[in-house]
Chains A and B, each alone.
Chain A
C-alpha cells in the first residue's frame, strides 16, 4: 500500500474523507482554458483538465465539460504538474538556530533506524510557503553522520504527518565527505569528524556484512528451534530492506574520485542507488551514466567545490550531467527556503541546461527517481490531479501561483508570509 497510495480502496477512503471535509462540494472539477504544459508530450495552447476522484480523468484541447462540474476559468494561466523537491528538511527544521525546533540530525554516526516521517511536523510554517510556490511534494531527508536514517516522500498537504505520506521509507541516507573540508554547517559547527570516503566505504561494507550475517543467523535460528534467536539488532534490521533492494539508498557524494569509488561500491553491494550532491559529477558524467545512477543536485546556492573547477561549476554541473544522459532532479536542501526549488532549476538553465529539461528535473524526473511516476510528475490521464496553475513560467521569480491541487483537492495558498502581511496591513485600514 505504501508504495501505491493512489490505487484501490485507499482512494475511496480518501475521496470519502474529502467529501465529508468539504461538504457538498462538486465531485468533479474542471480547469478550463489554461495553457497546459504536461511535461510529457507537447504543450496544449488552450485545453481542459477534468479532475475526478482525485485523478486526471481527461485532459486535452477538445475535452467536454461534464455537467454539474465546478469549472475554474483558467484563461491566461498555465497548468503544470506540481513540483517535487528532491531533498528537503521540510517539517524537520523550523528555526534552524533554535535546536528545540530542529529534528533533522540525530546524534552519532550510524542511524538507519530513524525515520523522518516519525518527526515530520505537518503544520510547519515552511510547508504552505513551498506549496504556494507550486511545490506539491518533497523528499524529507534526515542528515548527518554516516548513515543518517530513512526519508519519506510526502505531499505538501495533510492534516497529519501520515496523511501527507506518498511513500515511506523513500530511501536510506548515507553521507560521505564533502569536498571543502569538514562536514558543512555554519562555520563547520556540526561537531563531526571528517572521515575520508575509502574509510567510510569500509565501514559501510562491514555494517552490511554484519547485517547479512544477522539475517542468516535469524533465518537459521528460526528453523532450528533449539537455537536461541539472535538479539534484536536495530541497525541490521533497518539495513536489510536496503540490502534486499526493496529500499533505495541515497548517497551524498561530492568529489569526482569519491563518485567513482561509490559507483563501484554500490555495484558490488548490489544496491539501488541514487546520488545526492554530486558537485563534481560533470567530471565523471559518463561513469554515472553508464552505472545508470540518477542524481539529485545539491543546493546551487553554494561556492564552487574548488576554485580550479571555475566560478560557475555548480551552475553548469546539472546541464553537463543531463547532456551525458544522467537523470537529474533538483532539491532545495532546506526548509526555510524550500520555496526556492524552481530557481535552482532556472539557474542551471541559465548555465546550459535545456529549459524543458530543467522543468522535468523538478517534476517528472524526481517522480521517476523515487518510483512514483505512475501517479506523479506529469499531467496525463490517470495520474493524480496534482496540478499548479501559474500566471507565468513556473521557474520565474515574477510568477504567481493562483491555484494548487493536490490529489484533486484545491489547497489553501495562505501561509505565514501572507498571514503576517495581512495582519500588519490592517494598520492602514483600522479605525483610529
Chain B
C-alpha cells in the first residue's frame, strides 16, 4: 500500500467517532508527493490555467502547468472539470485549543494559546472538509490584553507541536469594546462588582498604563545592561526583577510580537491606531472591524488590515452597524481584508462567505477568493510559503467541484504539504461500505 493511500485510509478513520476522539494516527512524517491533473488552476497571484496540473514533491509545489508528469510511484489524481486552488486560510478562529480566555484578570499578555493546542479537535476535520489548510487560532476577547496566539496547519493526527507554523508572525491579542468592558455579562451585582475596566475609556487607559510600565521595564533593563557592560560594574548592581507580563509587552514594543486587535466600532479602532503610533508597535490586523467601512481611508493609510465576517451582524449593540458591504468596500479602498470564521462551523464555508463580497462590494471572483487565501496569508506573515499556488510554496491545495465562488460548489479534496487530509470520494466509499456491512446478514452469532 502506498504511503498516501495509507494516509487517506487513516485520515478517514477520523470520520468515525472513535477515531475522531481517539489517538492521533500520525503517519505523514516523510512529506508528500502528489500530482493533480486536468483541473482549472486558480493560482490567485499568477492567473488562471483553464486546464492544468499541479505537481507537489516533498510537500512543496515544484511545477504548475500543462501536461505535467510525475516520477513513478507518485500519487496522481485526475480532477478534470474541477478547480484547484490554494488551501483556504482562516485568519481568526478559536478551534483546536484547550482554552481561549484567561478572563480572571484584564491584562494577561504572558499566556500563550500555543501551549494548549488540541490537535484532535473535531473542528479541524470540519475545517478540512471546507478546504481549510491553515488557521490563526487566538486568545479570546475577554481581556484588553489577552495573550499570545498561534498559527497552525490542520495536520490532523500529527503531534500538536508539528502543527505550529513557525514562519508566522508571533501575535498578541488585544480586545476593545463590549467584551473586555463586560457590558453583556449577566450576574454582575453589588456582590460581584464589575471588573475594571468597564468603559471604552478604561480599556484604553489600562492598555496605555501597561505599555508605559513595559517601557519603564525596558528602560530599567537597558540601564542595568549598560552598567553591567562597564569594565567595572558597581559591586551593588542588581538586575531588575523579571516580569513575564511586561516581558511580553516589551516584545511587542520591540516588534517581536505584533498586535491583533478585536475591535468593533470606529472610535475604538481609531484610538487603538493612535496608541500604536504613540508607543510604536505594529498592528497586524483588526479583528471584526465591523465599522471598518467608516474609516477605510484611515485603515488604508495606516496599512492595517482587517479580518472580518461577511455578514454575521446585529448580535450585539456594537455589531448593529456591521453592514455586509464592509469587506468588499474596504478591499476596494485598498485595505488588506480577510474573511474569518471565528467559529468551528462557519470555518467550513469561508469560501461561501468570501463569495458574498461579489454582491456586496462588487468584487470579482478573483478578488473575492483573495479574501480567504493570499490576504490572510499576508496578515499572518506567511505569504512567502502559502496563500497562492506558486512554485516553491507549500503544497497546500483544495479542489472544488465547481468554481469556489459559486453557491453550488463543494470541496472535494484538501491537501497539506502534498498529503491528502480530506477526500470526499473516500468518505463516500467508506460510507457505502459501512452501509453494505450494516445491511448484510450476520455470518455468525446465530441467535439474537
Contact = CB atoms under 8 A, between A and B. Distances in A.
A209 interface: no
Nearest to A420: B323
Contacts of A302: 345
Interface stretch (B154-162, B219-227, B312-320, B371-379): B312-320
A13 interface: no
A97 B294 contact: no
- Best-buried of B129, B314, B324 by chain A (most CB within 10 Å): B314
Interface string B286-302: 00000001100100000
B405 A398 contact: yes
B346 A301 contact: yes
B410 interface: yes
Contact of B293 (A311, A349, A424): A424
B349 interface: yes
B321 A420 contact: yes
Interface stretch (B15-23, B75-83, B381-389): B15-23
Contacts of A421: 293, 323, 325, 329
A308 B427 CA distance: 12
Interface string B337-366: 000000011101100100110111000010
Interface residues of B, number: 48
B315 A303 contact: no
Contact of A346 (B313, B314, B315, B407): B407
B204 interface: no
A339 B324 CA distance: 11
Contacts of A308: 16-17
Given A308-B16, A311-B129, A350-B409, A427 B297 contact: yes
B433 to A, nearest CB: 13
A396 B184 contact: no
A255 to B, nearest CB: 16
B317 A95 contact: yes
A307 interface: yes
Contacts of A125: 314
Given A94-B314, A399-B359, A347 B407 contact: yes
A381 to B, nearest CB: 31
Interface of A: 94-98, 125-126, 301-303, 306-308, 310-312, 335-337, 339-340, 342-343, 346-347, 349-351, 355, 393, 395-400, 416-418, 420-421, 424, 427
14 contacts: A94-B314, A96-B315, A303-B126, A311-B125, A312-B427, A346-B408, A347-B352, A355-B408, A397-B355, A398-B355, A398-B359, A417-B324, A417-B360, A421-B329
Interface of B: 15-17, 20, 122, 125-126, 129, 184, 293-294, 297, 311-317, 319-321, 323-325, 329, 344-346, 348-349, 352, 355-356, 358-360, 365, 401-402, 405-410, 427, 431
4 closest Cβ pairs, A-B complex? A346-B407, A97-B316, A397-B355, A336-B314
